[in-house]
A and B are shown apart, each in its own frame.
Chain A
Amino acid sequence: MRVQRHCVINADRDTVWKAVSDPDCYPEFMASLERWEPAADGPAGKGARYTVHWKIGSVPIGGVVEVSEFDQAHDLAWIGVSGVSLRGRFRIRDAGNGHTKVIFRLAYESAGNLLGIIADRVAARQVGRNMTETLKNLKTMVEP
């Protein structure tokens, strides 16, 4: 299941990147975040691991994720190492006039065959709402 949301922020790419690339900012702008903690010591960047849980439905869903791309002011992507199979990405693009377009993508797949597919579809609405809320929070956080 792939869910995508985007928004345009009235700030330059570097300012947006500063927030998106800083692990300490995630509890502030990521909606429905139930758990966020580094899974290993080390600087933010490719290979860094975090334990992430979002409250989806009745319980926290997530697991350990690893940053798979850390492209300065451009792309930040991660993959799920444990828990639900998961890929996520922030795409940061110049929108002109000092604005930045941020695309937030999440692709996930539960185990469990048919029930897994149904669960993915049922969860998609709430996941989408959380992503919209996340971008709204990010916008509020970085806009002057």
Chain B
Amino acid sequence: MWERGYRLARGEGWVYVCVMAGITDVLEWARQQVSSRVPKADMDQRDPDYIREQLPGLWLLASLYFRADVRGLERIPKEGPVLLVGNHSGGNLPPDTFVFTLAFCSYFGVERPFYQLAHNLVVSMPGLGSLRKFGTVAANHENARLALESGAALLVYPGGDYEVFRPSWERHKVDFGGRKGYVKLAREAGVPIVPIASVGGQEAALFLDRGQWLAKVLMVDKLARLKSVPILLAPPWGLAVSDMVPRLPLPTKIAIEVQDPIEVDADDDVVHKQVLESLQAGVDRLAAERRFPVLG
């Protein structure tokens, strides 16, 4: 009887190993499928004429719907590569990103090369190919280095999907989730960091939870580098899980403050702390001017 039990246990263990191996293969296959769809960064895909034609539409949206207010653009160095580091808000439809893109292109002209890093899923999503004409490339160190080496301005959101899906009651908190690779990037490229503080984006919907646990349950953290599957309340769906289905962002007032450049001449932790403090101070200033959520 003892021997029978041992044989059964060995058999079940074998089945378990086979099933796990199968899952691992499927996960690896799915991961390859997703990563193969991420377009290679091609700096030449940015199209100034296309951007020029889109600016009036963006201006209408930014001026009438989001009543945006952008300050301090003169603090960005007039030429040469620069790393623009912002706090990220608004889920998969971040109003602060396109408002800042509009402001940068209007102020410096569409001729000045300007790229933005975005999550793999954003740049590979069907229908969003036009973002590449705006200069949006997949977020990885290699693409960022290429952009800066080409002499362009580069906009990054180190907080990424961790920060952009934070609960709405933490809307005025700058939280990169401990990510500070951007400092190394700036140091290697020899460029200054310009912090871009913004408020209002996290009021475009009511974000309830980052859903990091859900990302783990659904295994999208391994399949698609997606650390969050947020739970939010947003029109027209009401309660929504994940932010993949198009929704109507609330007409929240967006305020953006461009801050003084920070030279990367100290330890990574010191520079990271300096950037976070500068951003948080800017966000606090802008938040203090808001009287009501959404309305501003």
Measured CB to CB, the residues of A under 8 A from B are 34-35, 53, 57-64, 82-83, 110-113, 115-116, 118-120, 122-123
Docked complex Cα distance between A8 and B160 (Å): 56
B55-A58 in contact (CB<8A): no
Restricting to B99-117, which residues have a CB under 8 Å from any CB of A? 99, 102-103, 106-107, 109, 111
CB within 8 A of B57: which of A35, A59, A61, A115? A115
Docked complex Cα distance between A122 and B57 (Å): 11
A115-B107 in contact (CB<8A): no
Docked complex Cα distance between A60 and B108 (Å): 10
Docked complex Cα distance between A63 and B111 (Å): 11
Q: Specify the main secondary structure of chain A where it touches its partner.
A: mixed
Docked complex Cα distance between A63 and B67 (Å): 22
Residues from chain A with Cβ under 8 Å of B221 in the complex: none
Interface size class of B (residues with CB under 8 A): 20 to 34
B55-A112 in contact (CB<8A): yes
Q: Specify the main secondary structure of chain B where it touches its partner.
A: helix
CB of B268 within 8 A of chain A? no
CB of B185 within 8 A of chain A? no
Docked complex Cα distance between A61 and B110 (Å): 12
Measured CB to CB, the residues of B under 8 A from A are 52-57, 59-60, 62-64, 66-70, 73-74, 99, 102-103, 106-107, 109, 111
Report the number of A-B residue pairs with Cβ-Cβ less than 8 Å.
Answer: 74
Residues from chain B with Cβ under 8 Å of A122 in the complex: 60, 63-64
Docked complex Cα distance between A62 and B106 (Å): 7
Shortest C-beta distance, A125 to chain B (Å), equals: 12
A115-B109 in contact (CB<8A): no
A111-B59 in contact (CB<8A): no
CB within 8 A of B56: which of A34, A35, A53, A119? A119
Residues from chain B with Cβ under 8 Å of A62 in the complex: 106
Docked complex Cα distance between A111 and B58 (Å): 12
| Max count, chain A CB within 10 A of own CB: residue among B52, B70, B106 | B106
Docked complex Cα distance between A60 and B107 (Å): 6
| Max count, chain B CB within 10 A of own CB: residue among A58, A64, A82, A111 | A58
Residues from chain B with Cβ under 8 Å of A61 in the complex: 59, 106
A82-B109 in contact (CB<8A): yes
30 of the cross-chain contacts (CB-CB < 8 Å) are A35-B74, A57-B64, A58-B62, A58-B66, A58-B69, A58-B70, A58-B99, A58-B102, A58-B103, A59-B68, A59-B70, A59-B103, A59-B106, A60-B73, A61-B59, A61-B106, A82-B111, A83-B106, A111-B52, A111-B53, A111-B56, A112-B52, A112-B57, A115-B56, A115-B60, A119-B57, A119-B59, A119-B60, A122-B60, A122-B64
* A58/B109 contact (C-beta < 8 A), A111-B53, A115-B57 known: no
- The 10 A-B pairs at the shortest CB distance, nearest first, are namely A57-B63, A58-B68, A119-B56, A115-B57, A112-B56, A58-B62, A59-B103, A110-B56, A116-B56, A58-B63
Residue of B nearest to A115 (CB): B57
Residues from chain B with Cβ under 8 Å of A60 in the complex: 70, 73, 103, 106-107
Residues from chain A with Cβ under 8 Å of B106 in the complex: 53, 59-62, 83
Docked complex Cα distance between A123 and B55 (Å): 13
CB within 8 A of B67: which of A58, A111, A115, A116? A58
